């Protein structure tokens, strides 16, 4: 089956995007993994601090939703990424 020109372009753009992702994130992930240390429970004082939690603060949730409304790009940050509202 022959694909139309816009569809081919879309796949090309998607492929370029995935290639960029790999080029950027793969070395970063390898670097992070290679430098990991074993952290013992008594060394977790800083990691357990509320400001170190690896997520958005609860109070930021509203602003994250506003970004989903006001910007075409959304998601991968714990907030809304589409659906459940009268927006895209």
Partner 1 sequence: MWLQLIQGRMSNLGHSNHSTNWRRWLRCLCVLGTLFAGKQSLYAQSSEEAVDIDFLFHYYEQDGNHSAVTGGIGTEELSDIASNIIVNIPLDSVRRFGIHTHVNHYSSASTDNIDSYISSASSVDNHFTLNLEYEKTFSDGHQSLGGNVGGGLESDYISTSFGASWWRENAESSRSLTVTAKAYLDTWIVIFPEELRAPGLVSVPTNKRRSFHVSASWAQVVNPRLQTALTLETVFQQGLLSTPFHRVYFGDLVELPTIERLPMMRWKIPLGIRAHYFANDWLVLRGSYRMYWDSFSIFGQTLSADIPIKFSPFFSVYPFYRFHFQTAARYFAPHGEHLETAEFYSSDYDLSGFVSHKFGLGLNYAPLNGIFSFRTSPQGATNTLRQLNMRGGYYLRSDGLRAWTVSLGFGIRR
Interface residues toward partner 1, by CB under 8 A: 10, 13-14, 17, 20-21, 24-25, 28-29, 32-33, 35-39, 43-54, 57-63, 66-67, 69-78, 81-88
Tell me the CA distances in angstroms from 1 to 4, 14, 21, 28, one per residue in order.
10, 20, 29, 39
What is the C-alpha separation between 40 and 25, in angstroms, rounded?
28
Least Å from the CB of residue 5 to partner 1: 13
What is the C-alpha separation between 67 and 74, in angstroms, rounded?
7
Least Å from the CB of residue 1 to partner 1: 18
Least Å from the CB of residue 2 to partner 1: 19
């Amino acid at each position: 089956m022959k694909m139309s020109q816009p569809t081919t372009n879309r796949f090309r753009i998607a492929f370029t995007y995935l290639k960029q992702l790999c080029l950027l994130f793969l070395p970063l992930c390898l670097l992070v993994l290679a430098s990991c240390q074993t952290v013992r429970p008594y060394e977790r004082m800083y990691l357990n601090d509320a400001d170190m939690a690896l997520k958005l603060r609860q109070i930021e949730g509203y602003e994250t939703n506003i970004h989903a409304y006001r910007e075409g790009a959304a998601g991968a940050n714990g907030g809304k990424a589409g659906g459940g509202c009268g927006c895209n």
